[in-house]
Amino acid sequence: MSNEVRVRYAPSPTGHLHIGNARTALFNYLFARNAGGKMVIRIEDTDEKRNVEGGEQSQLNYLRWLGIDWDESPDKGGEYGPYRQMERLDLYQKYVDDLLERGLAYKCYMTAEELEAEREAQIARGEAPKYSGAHRDLSQEQIEQFEAEGREPSIRLRVPENHTYTFNDIVRENITFESGDFGDWVIVKKSGTPTYNFAVAVDDYLMAITHVLRGEEHISNTPKQMMVYEAFGWEPPKFGHMTLILNENRKKLSKRDEHILQFIEQYKNLGYLPESLFNFITLLGWSPVGEEEIFTQDKLIEIFDAERLSTSPAVFDPAKLKWMNNQYIKSAEFDRVVDLTLPHLIEAGRVSENMSTSDREWVHELIALYQEQLDYGAQIVELTELFFKQEIQYDENAMEVLEGEQVPEVLDTFKKKLNELEEFTPEAIKKQVKAVQKETGHKGKKLFMPIRVATTGQTHGPELPNAIHLLGLETVNVRLDDVLNKLQG
C-alpha cells in the first residue's frame, strides 16, 4: 500500500448533493489536504436503474461550489482510471475469473422466487435470513441442467467458516464480525454487473486508497469488503465510520424531513455562502480544540484531525447554520452581498432587472441597510417589504406605541421638520429628529418609537434615518398623514 495518503469520495449519480454526502466528501478532502495526500472522486454507477441524467455533473458542480477540489476524477483523469465503475467492468472480470478458478467463488442458479421462499422459511423459523448455500457445491450435471433451463447465474463469494473479522475503526476503535453472520453473498449479479461491495473493494485496492472515511451505515459492508481483500491477499485500507446526522428531535436526518433543507443546491439558491456551509458541515460530527466555531477553509485543513471525529451523532441545527451564515455575510465584501440578494429582489418583482443608475444606487443602499441582519440572501425580500408596501397594517405592538398621548405632537412636529429640509439625507434626517426632541421635550422611546412605527410599520429595524431616507419624502409624508388622520379622527 502507498505511503501517500489517498482517500476517495464515491457518489452514485442518482441526483443532487445531499448534506450527508457533502459531509463525507468534506471530511475526506480535509483529511487528504491535512496529510498532503490525494483525493479521488470515483463514480459508482453500477445501479443503472437509479442513475439520473446529469447526476454526476450535479455532484461535481456543487462540490466545487462548496470549495472542495480533488486530484483525480472522471473530469480530471489520473493514472488510476477509469473513474466510473461501468467503465471498469473488464477490470472486475479478471478478478471474478480468478476467484472462480480458485474455488473461492461459484455460480448460483437460484431464482428470485426460490431465494424469497428460502428467506420467508428462515424468518418463519425465527432465524436471521441469509443465503443457505444451496448451490455452493453443484455437480457438473446440476449446472448443465440449470443452464439447459435457461437460468442465468449470479456469482457468490464463498464466505470462510468460523472466521472472525476485526478492524480498528478510526472513529469507533475495534469492531468485530463473525463470518457465520453472513451467507455466501453475490459479487456479480445475473446481469453480469458487479455488486457494490465487490466493486468497491477491487477499486479501492487498484486505486491505492489508504483510508476510507464514510457514514456509519457502511459498517456492515466492511467485513464483506475485507473478505474480498483477504481472498486476494491484499492489505485493506484503514476504515473510519462517521456517526449519523440527526434532526432537532434527535431522529435520523431523513429526506422526508421537509422542515430541514437537505441538498446543497437548495442552500446555494437561497443565498447561503459556500464558506459558511463548508464551516458548518465540518462541525457536524467533528470538533476542533477550543471554543472557536468560525474558521477559514485553510485553517480547517491545518487543524483537521480524524481523531476528533465524534462518536456521538451530530445534530443538524438550522438556527445555528443561519447564525453562522449571518457571521459570514456581515464580514463579506458588499459586492458579494449584492450578488447574493439582488436576484431575489428581481425574482420577487420588487425591482427591475434593467434598472437605471439611480435605481441601482437606491437598491444598493437598501441592501447595505440590511447586511448586518441577513441570515441568507433570499431573506432580503421579507426584510425590505416595508419599502414596497402601499399600505401598512399595524400589529398589536405597533398600535400600542401609536396610542401614546405624545404621539400626535411628535409626528406632527417631525413631519414639519422633514419638509423644511433642503437635502433629504440620513444625516439631515437625524438632525431633525434631535430638533423634534428639543422642540417637544420628548426623548428616548417616546420620541423614536412613534417615528419608527409610523414611517416603517415596525417596532424595530435598521438605522431609522437611513430607512426614512430610502423610503423618500413623498412616501414618508403619506404614512405620517395616514397615522395622524387616524389618531385625530
Would you please indicate which residues are annotated as catalytic (active-site) residues? 255
Euclidean distance between CA atoms 398 and 317, whole angstroms: 32
Q: Output the nine-digit C-alpha cell for 178.
A: 463473525
Residue located via cell numbers 442552500: 267
CB 242, CB 215: distance < 8 Å: yes
Euclidean distance between CA atoms 61 and 16, whole angstroms: 10
CB 228, CB 39: distance < 8 Å: no
Closest CA to 228 of 266, 271, 184: 184
CB 208, CB 1: distance < 8 Å: yes
Residue located via cell numbers 472486475: 92
Can you tell me whether residue 315 is helix, strand or coil?
strand
Per-residue DSSP letter, 218: G
Can you tell me whether residue 31 is helix, strand or coil?
helix
Please state, as a whole number, how many other Cβ atoms lie within 10 Å of the Cβ of residue 155. 22
Euclidean distance between CA atoms 489 and 478, whole angstroms: 16
Please tell me whether the peptide bond between 82 and the residue prior to it is cis, using omega within 30 degrees of 0. yes
Q: Output the nine-digit C-alpha cell for 329.
A: 455575510
Euclidean distance between CA atoms 341 and 163, whole angstroms: 60
What are the two backbone dihedrals, phi and then psi, of residue 407, each rounded to the nearest 5 degrees?
Answer: -60, -50
Which pairing describes strands 211-215 and 238-242: parallel, antiparallel, or unpaired? Answer: parallel
